[in-house]
Amino acid sequence: MSQSEQLFTRAQKVIPGGVNSPVRAFKGVGGTPLFIEHAEAAYLFDADGKRYIDYVGSWGPMIAGHANAEIIEAVKEAAGRGLSYGAPTGIEVEMAEAIRRIMPSIEMVRMVNSGTEATMSAIRLARGFTGRDNIVKFEGGYHGHGDSLLVKAGSGALTFGEPNSPGVPADLAKHTLTLDYNNPDQVRALFKEQGDSIACIIVEPVSGNMNCVPPISGFLESLREVCDESGALLIFDEVMTGFRVAQGGAQAYYGVKPDLTTLGKIIGGGMPVGAFGGRAEVMKQLAPTGPVYQAGTLSGNPIAMAAGLKTLEIISRNGFYEDLDVKTERMVKGMLKAAEDNGIAMSANRVGAMFGLFFTNEEQVTTYQQVTACDIERFNRFFHGMLAQGVNLAPSAYEAGFVSSAHTDQNIEDTLSAAENVFATLS
């Protein structure tokens, strides 16, 4: 038995499914998950000492590569001064200022400990601010596991066929109205009927939890329009897309300004962090200036702030996104060519350093229905083939892939050679 198999056997006795977050369990693709021993640059090393070129990047945060020396140094330096104070610090002010500089729609921001907390808090704030209960989300959109958001959800919920979780009271779920992503007519029709009952729309501006599906032209604009007309708030969940698809996130990339933005992943540089922010008028409704309650013992944790702030510094350097763009484009184009050369029907989406591969005859995937109609069985064989060749992709056909600044041209070449080998076995 491999070390990973031994650890997984032990883990399943004491941790539900052997994992602390469901998608890690390889349930969708089958087999034993890799137990990781350490990581460096673009590589993961498993408990058996095998090396993998990694396109998961801890599900997004590791945009500057694993164990980035500058980030590790910042964390060590911060740790030497104490792990948590439960009192305000200068570095939190620096973090808030940095976020506002990079994403100007965020006039005020509050730090939390995860993306889930960020979206949960943003929704409470939107409800409190508008005095309305209903929220709108899109099928296949994943916004963490808050009760109101586990309705027709993506990511692991979709992978395991549980997009509506037991345990969410029907009385609450009824306030979550779910529409089709990339269907502006449907959004307009709903708002015409009941726009004045809706507190907010929450959307992944580039959907990343039903694989990677960018917005069609005019979709995000239509959301802005109906919110302006109805008084609902537009929340961009940029937990994944923030600092990923462009430095200023999807809102900069597409030029649509939300009222509130939720952040996570990259903002913590690999430490557990989330944030939500936006218009000052709305954010001032939060306690202690306003009546909407939200709090956190470890929020704004100095170690997490140090890792996140250093990451924001790294991504702000000249050429950072241009370089990522070129690399990701080469990867995706190379994948499409390798698939075509082997007679495998495949389509791809890419926005900045975020990409999705689809085993489908469709030329362009823009809807949830198209994503779920893809050949999942072929994806699973592709996933395991790539893993055997030393390339780690997300263990689900419904997750996006990520390239980091640590991926070298050689890493991309090696990935494409591996893909050629695997495609040859897939027909």
- Residues within window 162-181 making contact with ligand PMP, judged by CB under 6 A: none
Interface pick for ligand PMP out of 119, 148, 311, 347 (rule CB under 6 A): 119
Catalytic hit among 237, 259, 321, 327: 237
139 binds ligand PMP (CB under 6 A): no
Residue 254, token pair as written in the block: 């597409």
Hey, is 333 helix, strand or coil?
A: helix
CB nearer ligand PMP, residue 236 or residue 423: 236
Contacting range for ligand PMP; rule: CB under 6 A; set: 111-119, 172-180, 282-290, 315-323? 111-119
CB nearer ligand PMP, residue 4 or residue 155: 155
DSSP state of 293: -
Distance CA 173, CA 91 (A): 38
Residues with Cβ within 8 Å of residue 328, at least 6 apart in sequence: 350, 352, 353, 354, 355, 403
Instruction: Give all strands of the β-sheet with 51-54 in edge-to-edge order.
Output: 36-40, 43-46, 51-54, 391-392
Q: Are 92 and 111 in contact (CB under 8 A)?
A: yes
105 binds ligand PMP (CB under 6 A): no
Catalytic hit among 265, 368, 375, 398: 265
CB nearer ligand PMP, residue 60 or residue 128: 60
CB nearer ligand PMP, residue 294 or residue 421: 294
Phi, psi of 258 (to 5 degrees): -85, 165
Q: Would you call 137 a catalytic residue per the annotation? A: no
Interface pick for ligand PMP out of 55, 59, 181, 355 (rule CB under 6 A): 59
240 binds ligand PMP (CB under 6 A): yes
CB nearer ligand PMP, residue 266 or residue 292: 266
Which sign does the torsion angle of CA 263, 266, 267, 269 carry? positive
Catalytic hit among 142, 181, 253, 368: 142
Residue 107 C-beta: closest distance to ligand PMP, Å: 21
What is the Rg, in whole angstroms, of the alpha carbon atoms belonging to the chain? 21
Q: Would you call 265 a catalytic residue per the annotation? A: yes
Contacting range for ligand PMP; rule: CB under 6 A; set: 141-149, 183-191, 212-220, 301-309? 141-149
Q: What is the largest CA-CA distance in the chain?
A: 61
Q: Inter-axis angle of helices 184-194 and 219-230, to 10 degrees?
A: 10
Q: Are 235 and 229 in contact (CB under 8 A)?
A: no
Q: Inter-axis angle of helices 376-388 and 409-423, to 10 degrees?
A: 120
208 binds ligand PMP (CB under 6 A): yes
Residue 355, token pair as written in the block: 């990409």
Contacting range for ligand PMP; rule: CB under 6 A; set: 85-93, 94-102, 112-120, 168-176? 112-120
Residues assigned a catalytic role: 142, 237, 265
* Binding positions for ligand PMP, rule: CB under 6 A: 59, 114-116, 119, 142-144, 155, 204, 208-209, 237, 239-240, 264, 274
